[in-house]
Every structure is written in structure tokens, then in C-alpha cells.
A and B are shown apart, each in its own frame.
Chain A
């Protein structure tokens, strides 16, 4: 029998990992979930932003918040660049081509990062206070990340549901052709969404860079699971993805303690595959038919 303390610890670690996944899923859910454009290299874009934050803070002595803002700026630029350079030319070809083209981007970013910065793990060394809640020690960095990801999620939700451009984004996702017939410019909507998605990647990078070390395989480590969170939560469903992040992270974390780290991931991936079949609309979707 496993000591309940271990299980509790694993559950808490799961919550913290869930916060990370929720943060990573934000932008991807907007791009992949709402717009149905596949950026398989999304987490690699986050990684590039993390490198920028790292170099600005550790190399040039910028304060972390300023470095983080720069990371968000770079995220916006990367998002726009990915859309203009890669997605726009192949928007009308099968979606699987978007996946292959951004798969090339994934290869490119990962290898170029290896080439430029080697496979060293780099982390920002700053001391952040530790908060004690009822005998449990929680790192301040993670709490901030957690709080900000909730704020960002709510912001995105309001943006999509309550603003004109948000409504337009959802309309483009439904029917690109009809949108153009209504006199709207789909390209502008795509650009706005890609920019916001990129900003979310930058935000994730800023918050993750103070709790994780960055290395060229960061994207490979978190990419697949982030995609699965988006699908599991129901594409484009921000709340669903948020819940799914914690479901996945608890499975990984508890499975890791009860069995082995790999088996935790195996169960999470298997759950994803099965959910794809039985409930493609996500955990919160009401069953149609």
C-alpha cells in the first residue's frame, strides 16, 4: 500500500502541472480549437519565447516582468509570421497539409535551437518567495502562473463571446466562404486570432520561464499533451480545456506514483484516443444524436 502522503503530494503536483497545461492550452485552443488551423509547432513557439525571456533576463539583466512582456511581443510576431508565411498559402488545401507544414516548422525550430543554443537546460535563477498554506509549501511563481492563466482564460472567453471580433472569429471557423460573402475579410480575422494566439504563447512562455528550464526539446515534451488537452476539453471550449488540463495532469501525476511515469502518460494518451472516438466534442459536450 502506498503511503497516502505520497498520493497527496502527487495530487498537488498534478494540480501544478495542470496549471502549466492550462496555460499552454490557452492559445492553442484559440488557433486549433476555434479557428481549426493546426499549429503542430505551437509549444515550440512557446519555447522560442522562453529563450527570449531567458536571454533578456539572464543576459541583459532585464527585470522578469519586462522580459515577459517582450516574450509576449515576440509571441505576437511569431503568430503573425506563422499565419502569413505558412498557413495563408495553404489555407485552401487539406488541413492535413497545415499539419505537415507546421511539422516542418517544428523540426526547424527544434533543430535550429539545438544548433544555436545546444541542448543545455537553461533556467532563470531568481528567488521567489514560497507561500505556506496549511502546512503545504507552494511556490510563488506557480501561484502567479496559476492565477494569471485563470485571468487569461476568462479574458479569452469574454473576448470570444462578448466582442464583435470574437463573434467574427467563431463565424470564420464555421464557414470561411460565407464569411467573405457577408462582406467581412477573413484574412483580417485570421491575423487577429493568430496574433492573440501568439500573445498567449508568449504569456505562457513568460510564466513558464520562471518555473521551468528551457531546452530545445521543451516543445516535444509538452506539445502532444497540449494538443490532447484541447481535444479532450472540446475544441474551442476554454473551460473544458481548463478542466481537461487538470484531469490529464492528475492522471499523469497519480499514475506516475501508483505505477510508473511512463504508464501515467500511457493512460493519459489512451484516454485521449478513446475520448476521440466516443466523445469527439469533449468532456463538456452534450451528446448529440
Chain B
């Protein structure tokens, strides 16, 4: 009951936040919060796979495919991103299946799976750079603007508040998908697969089908996140949207927050982005690299001591305190 009331209160606060007077800070605060929403959504999409032991280090590939598909379709063919998104998600799913099917067929799991996906992420990044005639290569690509005030058809807007609400909705959708999956039969099946594939198969779990389905879902959502990010920033770049760098960043934020709990990715993303922004504003150019240095250390410490992440661990602690007498079954 208290939990539900708190959730409603937080949601209300988030809805009215853009109208709270913050003076000159408003644009900046909104910008940071929008980024947190989008990257939390992407992190959540990653954790759909990650929590079941399908650790992908190549989610940048799906992000890049998503962002570049809509951007190129809009820039060269004038196709509205609303339709482009569907193409982008379909493309990401196809790519995911091309990689995931042989992985599942030949039993590539664990850290070998991670290495294969890492290579896939790099391939997408390098292909984007290689096709520089239309992708702009390493220089990136700016979305064709649809006029100064933006347009609904182009999914562009000059007003950050529009994107704030869009990102909020996207984030909520991500949480909804996460919780839906968490309460479904698929979760039990996937957990069994994550523990031991052979054992899961022996009790009648269709291993390949579940793995491919969860990978496709995760890829589609990640591509969608890439589209939203590209529409917001209106600039795409292979380094920020594909390859090892961004892939590790996604994984990092989720592991920090906790990949086994619905709010974990959000907590982790909010923390990393806030820390990065704080260090950037406070120290400017004097401490380049400091934020990542701290992340790196935290990541090592967390994997060793708190594999459930910040949110997961805090929740477990609260649950233990709330139930002082251990239930005897």
C-alpha cells in the first residue's frame, strides 16, 4: 500500500517537474533527466537478457542499427521516423536473430556469447564508419531539420518538454515490459535456461525458442531506444551509438543499479549520468576521465561484493528488515 502511494507520488512529481520554476537551470535539468529516461529504458532492454545470463557486450549494434535506420530513411527518403522506427526495430530483430540463432544452435553461452556479441557490436560500428558516403563515417550525421519549431511528422521538437514527456512514457513502457516479463511463465523458463540449459530442456523447456524470443525483444527495444535518442539529440555518431564503448556503458549502468530488479537499470543509469554531469560541471576540463575512473572502480567492487547492484541490495536489505521472523514453511 505504501509502495503504491509512493509510486503514484513519484510519478506525479515527474509529471509536474517541467513546470516547476527552476530559472535558467530548467533546460539543463530537463536535458539530464531526458537522458536518464532514455538510457534507463535501454539499460532495461539490455537487462531483459542480462538477468538470465545472456550477457551481451554488443547492444551498441542494435542501438546503432536503430538510430541510423530512422536517420538515414528520414534524411534520404523523407520517411517519417514514426514508420522508420518500425523498420529500425525489424532490422534490429533480424540482426539479433542472425547472431542468436547460431549461438543457440552451437551452444555459445556465457563469456563466449559475450565475446561474439562484442564482435558484432564492433562490426556494426566499423560498417557505419566504412559506409561514410551516406553515414558520414566517424564524423556522424545530423538529422535534417523540419523547421525551427519542429514538426510532429518528423518527430522533432524545439521544446524540451515535449521530449521530456515522450521519454517519460518510453521509460514507463520499458518498466511495464520488464514487470510483465517478470510475472510471466517465460521468466521461470528463462531462469531455468540461465542456470542449466540441458536441465531446462530435459523438463520440457523449449530452450532455443525462449532464448531467441528474449533476444529479439531486447534488440527491438534497444533499437527503439536508439531511435528516441537520435530524435532527441538530432545527431548520430558511430562512437556514441555503436561499438564497445557504449555497449559497456549500458552494461555498466545496469550492473551498478542491479540487473535483477525492475528499477535497477534506472537507479544505475541515474547514478552514472548524475555523477558524470556533476564532475563535468564541478571540475570542467581539469578532471577528464575521472568520472569513468570512478565508474570502473565501482564496477569491479560491485561485481565482487554486490552482484545484485545498489537497488537490488537495498531492496533485499529492506525486505529482510520488514520480515524479522523468518517464515517457516
Q: Which residues on A are within 8 Å of B, measured CB to CB?
A: 38, 86, 89-90, 93-115, 118, 216, 220, 224, 227-228, 231, 260, 262-263, 265-266, 269-270, 272-273, 276-278, 280
Among B102, B127, B248, B300: residue with most chain A CB under 10 A: B300
The residue of chain B having its C-beta at the shortest distance from the C-beta of A220 within the complex is B244
List, in ascending order, chain A residues with CB within 8 A of B302's CB.
104
The residue of chain A having its C-beta at the shortest distance from the C-beta of B115 within the complex is A227
A-B pairs with lowest CB-CB distance, top 9 = A108-B296, A104-B299, A107-B296, A111-B292, A114-B289, A262-B130, A115-B289, A104-B300, A101-B303
Q: Which of A94, A115, A270 contacts B293 (CB 8 A)?
A: A115
13 A-B residue pairs with Cβ-Cβ distance under 8 Å, sorted by A, are: A93-B307, A108-B292, A115-B288, A115-B289, A115-B293, A263-B130, A265-B122, A266-B127, A269-B119, A270-B123, A273-B99, A276-B108, A280-B112
**A90 in contact with B303 given A96-B111, A115-B293, A269-B123 (CB within 8 Å):** yes
Q: Which residues on B are within 8 Å of A, measured CB to CB?
A: 53, 55, 57, 99, 102-103, 105-106, 108, 110-112, 114-116, 118-120, 122-123, 126-127, 129-130, 244-245, 248, 251-252, 255, 287-293, 295-305, 307
List, in ascending order, chain A residues with CB within 8 A of B111's CB.
38, 95-96, 98-99
CA distance A125 to B289 in the complex (A): 27
Taking the closest CB of chain A, its distance from the CB of B139, in whole angstroms, is 14
**A103 in contact with B248 given A269-B126, A280-B106 (CB within 8 Å):** yes
The residue of chain B having its C-beta at the shortest distance from the C-beta of A227 within the complex is B115
List, in ascending order, chain A residues with CB within 8 A of B112's CB.
231, 276, 280
List, in ascending order, chain A residues with CB within 8 A of B108's CB.
276-277, 280
CA distance A97 to B304 in the complex (A): 8
Q: Which of B53, B115, B296 contacts A104 (CB 8 A)?
A: B296
Q: Which of A89, A260, A273 contacts B304 (CB 8 A)?
A: A89
**A105 in contact with B300 given A115-B288, A269-B122 (CB within 8 Å):** yes
The residue of chain A having its C-beta at the shortest distance from the C-beta of B299 within the complex is A104
Q: Are B119 and A107 in contact (CB under 8 A)?
A: no
**A107 in contact with B295 given A269-B119, A273-B120 (CB within 8 Å):** yes
The residue of chain B having its C-beta at the shortest distance from the C-beta of A278 within the complex is B106
CA distance A280 to B55 in the complex (A): 19
Q: Are B300 and A108 in contact (CB under 8 A)?
A: yes
List, in ascending order, chain B residues with CB within 8 A of A220's CB.
244-245
CA distance A38 to B113 in the complex (A): 13
Taking the closest CB of chain A, its distance from the CB of B257, in whole angstroms, is 14
List, in ascending order, chain B residues with CB within 8 A of A227's CB.
115, 118
Given contacts A103-B251, A104-B296, A227-B115, 17 further A-B contacts (CB under 8 A): A86-B304, A89-B305, A97-B307, A100-B299, A103-B248, A104-B295, A105-B300, A108-B296, A111-B291, A113-B289, A115-B289, A228-B115, A273-B116, A273-B120, A276-B112, A276-B116, A277-B106
**A111 in contact with B296 given A96-B53, A276-B108, A277-B106 (CB within 8 Å):** yes
CA distance A263 to B130 in the complex (A): 6
CA distance A113 to B291 in the complex (A): 13
List, in ascending order, chain A residues with CB within 8 A of B122's CB.
224, 265, 269
**A100 in contact with B255 given A90-B303, A111-B296 (CB within 8 Å):** yes
Q: Are A99 and B127 in contact (CB under 8 A)?
A: no
CA distance A278 to B106 in the complex (A): 8
CA distance A270 to B121 in the complex (A): 11
List, in ascending order, chain B residues with CB within 8 A of A103's CB.
57, 248, 251-252, 299
CA distance A65 to B105 in the complex (A): 50
Q: Are A224 and B298 in contact (CB under 8 A)?
A: no
CA distance A90 to B302 in the complex (A): 11
Q: Are A114 and B288 in contact (CB under 8 A)?
A: yes
Among A93, A99, A110: residue with most chain B CB under 10 A: A99
Q: Are B303 and A231 in contact (CB under 8 A)?
A: no
List, in ascending order, chain A residues with CB within 8 A of B126's CB.
262-263, 265-266, 269
Q: Are B119 and A101 in contact (CB under 8 A)?
A: no
CA distance A277 to B295 in the complex (A): 34
CA distance A269 to B251 in the complex (A): 21
**A109 in contact with B304 given A262-B126, A272-B119 (CB within 8 Å):** no
CA distance A272 to B119 in the complex (A): 8
Taking the closest CB of chain A, its distance from the CB of B52, in whole angstroms, is 11
Taking the closest CB of chain A, its distance from the CB of B7, in whole angstroms, is 30
Among A224, A260, A263, A270: residue with most chain B CB under 10 A: A224
Taking the closest CB of chain B, its distance from the CB of A233, in whole angstroms, is 14
CA distance A38 to B123 in the complex (A): 22
CA distance A104 to B114 in the complex (A): 15
Taking the closest CB of chain A, its distance from the CB of B157, in whole angstroms, is 34
Q: Which of B110, B288, B295, B305 contacts A96 (CB 8 A)?
A: B110
Taking the closest CB of chain B, its distance from the CB of A117, in whole angstroms, is 10
**A96 in contact with B248 given A228-B119, A269-B123 (CB within 8 Å):** no
Q: Which of A96, A216, A272 contacts B114 (CB 8 A)?
A: A96
